[in-house]
Structure 1
Amino acid sequence: MTIRLLLVDDQELIRTGLRLFLGTQDGLEVVGEAADGDEALDVAAATRPDVVLMDVRMPRVDGVEATARLTSAPLDPPPRVLVLTTFDLDEYVFGALRAGAAGFLLKDASRERLVEAIRVVHAGDALLSPSITRRLIEDFASRTSPLRPPEALLAALTPREREALILVARGLSNTEIAAHLVVTEATVKSHVGSVFAKLHLRDRVQAVVFAYEHGLVSPGTR
């Protein structure tokens, strides 16, 4: 199966470099390019990409607004958005995650990491680098008052599901959560999947945002 890609970046050289590299990778096809978020919406509607590589800081419509529009657009299925950024502590990136991005990657990541990230988000998973994501969200959360926890929703979680949610929010992988809870990875996947369903969350990114926004995890906790 070929993964169809849309490249969104206001720097033509960046787009060209990405296109030349990604076009040589098995199973990847660049179907369009856009220089800003506004153009990205039109190109996405015309080309129906599977994954959008989205820059954050662009003129007219930035990556945050474009991500929100793309993930809520009447496209079936909607594209998965992978945010590319120069900065690992960038509030724009947190905004993009809240807007529905499947994950983010630094622009200085290796080529192999980029290809892996594309495949991960296309498969329906969220791309969360524990070290970078934790720093990003804790930095934002430390300057934001948490919302009141939705007690009715949280009451539906079992104690183990709530614990799994907190560990996901701290950036732990399924393997690390399994070791922490002394259960199998299959059990962790079951707990995490149940959390997503009960809290109406799409993926791990939304779970992390939910936990920090509602004060279930405090900045700096481990």
Structure 2
Amino acid sequence: MSVRVVVADDQELVRAGFSMILDAQPDIEVVAEAGDGEQAVAAVRAHGPDLLLLDIRMPVMDGIEAARIVCAESGCRVLMLTTFDLDDYVYDALRAGASGFLLKDVRRDDLIHAVRVVAAGESLLAPSVTTKLIAEFTARTVARPAVPPTERLGVLTAREQETLRMIARGLSNAEIAQAMVVSEHTVKTHVSNVLTKLGLRDRVQAVIAAYEGGLIVPGAG
């Protein structure tokens, strides 16, 4: 089954280039293109794609608002495009529900890999950058009152909280399994339970929940 994608970027050459690369893959189908945020939302509503490749900076409606609407209305996953790896907008994109982001000068193979990974339900952020990115994200939102762990995370078992803590520190399922001395299958079950109980879309959102819920302190090891 093909991954159905909508490509949204206000630069026609960039949009056409990404579409051509993705559509050439046997397991990826570009079902629509959009030149602004409003068109991106309309395309998702019309075509029901699996993934929206969306530029953060868009005319008419910016990418953040478009991502927020798409994530609220559908199960379509959002992969954001940005010019800078720590663009201020990245933090807003993650809060809006995006599953990760790519630099616009991404290599062809990395673009294809990213689409497949995010469409499969994983987050794009590599473990090596997850903690740094989310710590900076939370540091920028310190004015927002924190939710005590017992209120937000109290629905999780001790094992699930420990799993969430390790996710927030950037550990892979294999590394979590080794640390907890359990099978990867068990870890996958814990991760699934964490996402379901907290109503989260993916691991990126889980990391944010861990910081916001007080399970992990920004800057802590």
TM-score (norm. length: structure 1): 0.90
Aligned to 1:45: 45
Q: 1:131 to 1:211 in 2, by over 3 A?
A: same
How many Å separate the matches in 2 of 1:22 and 1:185? 31
Secondary structure of the corresponding residue to residue 31 of structure 1: strand
Q: 1:203 to 1:178 in 2, by over 3 A?
A: same
How many Å separate the matches in 2 of 1:86 and 1:133? 18
Aligned to 2:89: 92
Aligned to 2:19: 19
Q: Does 1:156 align with 2:125?
A: no
Aligned to 2:187: 188
Q: Does 1:198 align with 2:184?
A: no
The offset of 1:89, in angstroms, is 1.1
Aligned to 2:122: 125
Q: Return 5+ residue gaps in structure 1 as ranges.
A: none
Q: Match for 2:10: what amino acid? A: D
- Worse-matched range after superposition: 147-156 or 17-26: 147-156
The offset of 1:172, in angstroms, is 1.3
Q: Match for 2:176: what amino acid? A: I
Pairing of 1:3-18 with structure 2 (within 5 A): 3-18=3-18
The offset of 1:165, in angstroms, is 0.4
The offset of 1:37, in angstroms, is 0.7
Query: Is 2:9–2:54's contact at 8 Å kept on the other side of the alignment?
Result: yes
Q: Match for 1:70: what amino acid? A: V
How many Å separate the matches in 1 of 2:77 and 2:140? 28
Q: 1:141 to 1:14 in 2, by over 3 A?
A: same
State the 4+ residue runs in structure 1 displaced beyond 3 angstroms.
none
- Worse-matched range after superposition: 139-148 or 60-69: 139-148
Deviations 1:189-214 (A, max 9, x none): 12112222222222212111111222
TM-score (norm. length: structure 2): 0.90
The offset of 1:143, in angstroms, is 2.8
The offset of 1:150, in angstroms, is 4.9
Deviations 1:154-177 (A, max 9, x none): 233222211110111122111121
How many Å separate the matches in 2 of 1:57 and 1:171? 28
The size of the alignment, in residue pairs, is: 219
Q: 1:195 to 1:33 in 2, by over 3 A?
A: same
Q: Return 5+ residue gaps in structure 2 as ranges.
A: none
Q: Does 1:115 align with 2:112?
A: yes
Aligned to 1:144: 141
Query: Is 1:7–1:15's contact at 8 Å kept on the other side of the alignment?
Result: yes
- Worse-matched range after superposition: 4-13 or 107-116: 107-116
How many Å separate the matches in 2 of 1:158 and 1:79? 29
- Worse-matched range after superposition: 124-133 or 6-15: 124-133
Percent identity of the aligned residues?
54
Aligned to 1:173: 172
How many Å separate the matches in 2 of 1:157 and 1:33? 41
Secondary structure of the corresponding residue to residue 52 of structure 2: strand
Q: Match for 2:203: what amino acid? A: R
Query: Is 1:9–1:54's contact at 8 Å kept on the other side of the alignment?
Result: yes
Deviations 1:85-138 (A, max 9, x none): 222212312212221212222233332222122112222232231233322221
Q: 1:189 to 1:40 in 2, by over 3 A?
A: same
